[in-house]
Structure formats: structure tokens, C-alpha cells
Structure 1
């Protein structure tokens, strides 16, 4: 029986309790959902954090550390993947686009990975995209990508390469030609972010065909295509991802009651297609991650 691994993406930067009141916000809630996702079959949990009082995205190392410590108190095999996506947004002001507007959060690459250097999770995301994102622009220059990737790898953490469009894969292949990555690239094909990859089977086939031959990859969609792309990624030889970062609904008219419920549904889909979910221990061996 073919096997694959499942990542539970718990909350993200843009999902809100206005969309789904069940979204985890506090470190205790995020850790609770991570542990429940593991019980339902997730081998990896992908984690952002929020300021508990405002519910706004945060880069505070202390918040990440609390989440990780709460998970590790109960489960020392679950693979932890922390985001480094914050700190790349530019909001050009209306009066002068050369002056940053109020939504700008650009940070030096070293500052975007401080929580990774301090906590040393198993995996850290590395975004390669420069793209229009809402009314702002996300900027990830090659120099910033190289610096963040170097710091992540020097810490002994496995980078997960986030690919939002075909130009991002071109950057990945440029880095591969430079022998930048110490291990075969671990990649996520992100579909459904407006102005990026459209979540369709044709898109996934195209993106998969651009990847380096030794890539280990996950394909996932957002919104209404989140669960359909679970099936598509599995059938095309990829791994899968689901969670409240990517979608609000468990099914039509039913908001997801928890990340666990979303993992259970995704697990059921791939099992009925004939796939077996890999355990965290199996995925650690596959990815060359050290145990605790």
C-alpha cells in the first residue's frame, strides 16, 4: 500500500474567529489542536502564533516557545514546523509608493528567523514568493532567501520550500544549481492564493513537473478546493495538508469544528483511495530528522 504524510496547518496569518469561532488563538489552544491533529493522523503540525489579546499575527519567540513546550510535554514524536513567513509584506502608501504604508512589516532576514534559531524546531518554512497579496506586495529577494535558508540550515532545521507560482520554482531550481540545500528539497505547492497557482489538477501536474527530481513535495489548496486538492495531491504522488489556515468549512454549510475534524476527513479521503498515513516516526526517518 502506498503511503504519504499529512500536515495539519492550524491557523495561519489571515484566518480569523469572525470566519470561524473555533480557530485556535492562544498558545494553549494551538498546542491542544496540534496534539489532537496528531491523534487523528497528522505527522506534522505547521504553526503560526497570534497575540492572544488582539488575535493579530505575531513573531514573538516566547509565544512560539510556549506552543512548542506544551506540545513536547505530551508528545515528543510529532514533527513541528514553524513559519518564517511574517516580515515580508510591503504596503505602498497612497501619497508616495516609495514610503511604506501602515500594513508594511518588512524585517531583516535575520529577524524573521530568530524564533527558529532559539527553538530549533524540526522544520521551518522558507517562502520564495514575491507577489501581489491582497492590496500589498510580499517581497522575498534572493539575498533574503539565501540568508534565511543559510541560518535555518546552520541551526540543523530542515527548510520547507513554499512555492506559490512557477517563478518560485524557477528560484528553487536556481538554488539547486548552486547546491544551496544540504538535503533533497522539501516543498509545498501552494494553490488558491489569489494571483498565484490556481487550485486545479492541471496546475498541480504542471507544478510537479517543474520540481527537482529528488523533491519531496506536498500539494494543497485553499478555500473550497482544500479537500479536493487533498485527493489530487495523493493521487499525483504527493503528500497532503489540511487545516484552519487553509479553509473555514468542513463541508458545505458546516464550519470546521476543529483542526482535528479536518484531519480526520482528509485521512478518510486518502485511506479510501488506498493510501496509508505515515507516522511521525516514519516521516522522521524519511526526512532525516533527528528524534528528541
Structure 2
């Protein structure tokens, strides 16, 4: 699924990393919006968005928390806004869907299967926390299943298909590709599918190049020319996996949601720094970075004039 232009998605803040892990993690609406606009200026065609409680940084999946972020970004940039429906693994699917249902974005993320979503190993690296919820949340993932049943996925699709949104299908393992194929064959989703294969999170597939190739071969077999491939490498896997995929013509995702680091032992001070780094890799391979308008054409999006914000 080689693309003529490579789409860079930047995931701005997420719900995995906590404020104590990096002073550079955007938390307030203003910080998240500013960071998204900077990432777009650096070359990101899509920004993947979560919201947080401004007081303590915990994930906030209320539509009201997203409103100032979305309105600020739209006033300053034509970047494609992608709203999470993953929220945080301990939230119900109804809670997770509310922002996308209200704001009707061009793209919404959609997790394609239930899984162990293990963040507790981070407690070995990070010892001091500003807020009590941070270590409690991390520890709790040792006994957590991130629920995304077939019923949940169907509910998400039936809710959001009415808005004209398309999806970033987050696939953390081979089974998630087969789950997506089930809904594709039923006609609930249509091509071109934007498939984000995720590597290196404990509970999902690993980050070895063989595993990257296995996921791509499986997607090729299941979807042929009806999908656009992208990769996300967690933590230290971020740039190596992005480089591997870009060399194969795949799209890439970076951002502080997926990794706090720019290199070994060096925290990324902005999302834009990661975008610039992966852009150097892409352009160093003789490839071209997609603009937001390019991404809209490649993915068949409805356009920024048809969103709810």
C-alpha cells in the first residue's frame, strides 16, 4: 500500500503517560492546542487528540474538555483533527465515544479488539509522582482488560457512521485485523481503510521487524488495495518502526502519547520535535510528506467544513 505521499499523524498527549513523567507533556487545553498547531506547522497532516483535566492531568473524555482544543486548532490550522474513542482503558465505551459523537470530526480512532493494556512496568522507571491517581492508574493495569467487544465496536460504528467520520483503526495484534475484516465484510466500514498497526505495547504484538512485516502481510491479504497502512511504535520503538514503514511507503504516527523521548535518554521537549525528526527520515528516503489536503484525498475524508466545531 505504498503512498505517493507519506501522512504523518501526531498524537499530542494521550492517556498513557502521566504529567509526572515529563514536564513537556501537554495538559491544559491551551497547551494541547498549541502543541497540535506546532506539530502541524512541522509537517503533521493529522493530529490525534485526547483531553485532560487541567488541574491534575488525568484523562477527561467529556465533550466540554475537547471544545476549546478543537476551536483553537481550527482557528489557526487546516490540520485534520482525529478524536480518540479509546479515551482511557478504564472508561466505558459510551463515555469514550461522547466527544466524537458531539463534535463529528473528520477522523475518529477506533480500537479493534479487547486486550490486556499493561502500563504497570512504568512504575519501575518512574518513582515520584505529583498526583495520587498516577501510580494508582499504572498499578491497576496489571489486572485490567481494555474492553472492545464486537458489540462495543458495532455500537461505535453505528454511532459515528451517521456523522460521516472515517476511522483510524488501531490494531494492536493480528486478531484485530481479522476483527476489522469482519466489519468490512458486513459493510459497516468501507475502503480506503486507515489502519494504524501498533507495536511495542505490553499486551499487544511486539516491535520486532518480523512482527511489523507479519502485520503488513496480513493486512495486505485481508484488504488488498482497500487500505492505507500506518505504524505506531511505542516508546523506544517509535523512530525505528517509523523508519522501517516509511521505507516501505507506509504512513507514520509519532507524538508524546506514544513516546516521551526524542532519543536515548533525551526527552522530547515538544511534539513538533518528533514530527521534525520523522520528517527528516521520510525526506531522507526521497519521499514527500503529505499536507492536510493530501491526507483528506488519500483517506477520502469529508472535509474540515463538515465537522461540528
Report if TM-score (shorter chain) is over 0.5: yes
1:88-167 pair list within 5 angstroms = 88-89=89-90, 105=91, 107=92, 109-134=93-118, 135=142, 136-167=144-175
Give, in whole Å, the separation in 2 of the partners of 1:237 and 1:277. 11
How many residue pairs are counted as aligned between the two chains? 274
Taking the aligned partners of 2:69 and 2:187, their CA distance within structure 1 comes to: 34
Q: How far off its partner does 1:183 sit? A: 3.3
Larger RCO (CA under 8 A, 6+ residues apart): 2
Residue 79 (structure 1) aligned with residue 80 (structure 2)? yes
Q: Tell me the C-alpha RMSD between the 2 structures.
A: 1.4
Answer yes or no: is 1:253 the counterpart of 2:265: yes
TM-score, normalising length: structure 2: 0.85
| Contact 1:2 1:274 (C-alpha < 8 Å) held by counterparts | no
Is this contact kept in 2: 1:6–1:241, CA < 8 A?
Answer: yes
Please tell me whether residue 57 in structure 1 is matched to residue 59 in structure 2: yes
8 Å Cα contact 1:9-1:241 kept in structure 2 = yes
Change (3 A) 1:146 1:78: same
Distance across 1 between alignment mates of 2:89 and 2:14: 15
Shift of 1:111: 3.7
- What's the counterpart of residue 221 of structure 1? 233
Q: 2:215 aligns with which of 178, 199, 207?
A: 207
Deviating above 4 A after TM superposition, structure 1's stretches of 4 or more consecutive aligned residues are: none
Deviation at 1:28, TM superposition (A): 0.4
Provide structure 2 residue ranges, at least 5 long, that are not aligned to the other structure. Answer: 119-141
What secondary structure sits across from 1:188 in the alignment? strand
For residue 16 of structure 1, report the CA deviation from its aligned partner: 2.1
Corresponding residue of 2:18: 16
| Secondary structure at 2:48 match in 1 | strand
Alignment TM-score, normalising by the size of structure 1: 0.90
Q: Which residue of 2 aligns with 1:174?
A: 182
Structure 2 distance, partners of 1:24, 1:144, is: 29
In 1, Cα distance between the equivalents of 2:109 and 2:235? 21
8 A contact 1:152–1:159 mirrored in 2: no
SS at match of 1:51: coil
CA distance, structure 1, for counterparts of residue 20 and residue 56 of structure 2: 13
Report the Cα offset of residue 256 of structure 1. Answer: 0.5
More helix by share: 2
